[in-house]
Amino acid sequence: MLRSPFARFALLLALSTPVMGAWAQDLPSAALPPAEVTKLASLHVRLVSLQDSMNSEMAAARNKTPERQLGLQEELHTKVAAMLTAAGLTNEEYQQRRLKVSTNTALRQAFDDAVVELQAAAAGRTVAAKPAAAAASAEEQPKLPAGPMGAHIGHVLISFADTPDKVGLLEIAKTEAGIAAQHAGFAARTPTNLESMKRHAAHVLHAIDPTLEAMGPGKGYGVKKAATAVAVHIEMAAKVETAPAGVKTHAEHVATAARSTVSRAEEVASLAQKIVASTTAEAAAALVAQMASLAEQLVSGTDLNADGRINWGNGEGGLQQAEEHMKLLLAVAVR
């Protein structure tokens, strides 16, 4: 059983990180053509998306049995293999290309830039499609109770005035958290390259709190601000005089998980700042490992007491737990 989100992240890396075998010595030194770098980046984006989906499944309370965890691990292996096949690559060919990228600074820069562009393009398509989808079918949005309670629930789940594209606070929190985790992973892939680690640590910092780092691949809102607002607005919903007891209960759970995310985001930001200020790759690499683990936990939370489940409380909860309890809260609110 994989007990932590970081272990699950390591599982995917084990499938996609080059193994330095004897065959590696025979690799041609020529750089990959730009089209091959883009192809590799596209495959990486799909693998990361798969990882995120499987992490959510593994974090769900319903999947916390050893048998189900093992089944999900096997499913992950199978899907990764299918993606490689669909991309027209054998595992060895994929490993060779990853090795070329990991050992060539210019290729790694091109690869990382391609990944960022692909994800930005994907986000742009998703954002552009939302208004049309909403106009076509209002039934796709969750039903909200009337009055102030419903308004605050809507701020968390559907739309908030100052978020990018006016998306809900929980959605922008998860988006920024995903960007932070991705760039923490980029930094972790280059433990001997100080400049690369510092560059991606700055990107992480931007996604966590853009007031600390103005430029980067994030949305300009930040995990910290978004998760704080999730807690504030769901507590405002619970304070409405007519709020049912179930809303008050689950609002506490949502707010607690959101504030645990804020605390974790502050730890990630502190580590990122230390990495940016590092003067040696060795010092930065030790911090990057911590940053990558914590950044992944922004969404998934973490099983601190090793009881086989991730709770909303006790400092364990992440945005995934906040989202789960928002669903429970909504079910009570609209009865």
Tokens 């699950």 -> residue: 8
Residue-averaged pLDDT of the chain: 81
pLDDT of residue 122: 58
What tens digit of pLDDT does each residue of 252-301 get? 999 999 999 999 999 999 999 999 999 999 999 999 999 999 999 999 99
**pLDDT computed for residue 127 by the predictor:** 36
Please tell me the distance from the alpha carbon of residue 299 to that of residue 292, in angstroms, as a whole number. 13
pLDDT in tens, 225-242: 999 999 999 999 999 998
Please compute the mean of the pLDDT values over residues 128-141 and round it to a whole number.
Answer: 44
Amino acid at 281: A
Confidence (pTM): 0.64
Find the mean pLDDT for residues 150-175: 93
Residue spans per domain, the chain: 1-139, 141-335
Residue 325 has pLDDT above 90, yes or no: yes
d(CA 319, CA 46): 22
CA atoms in the 13 A half-sphere facing the CB of 250: 19
pLDDT above 70 covers a percentage of the chain that reads 81
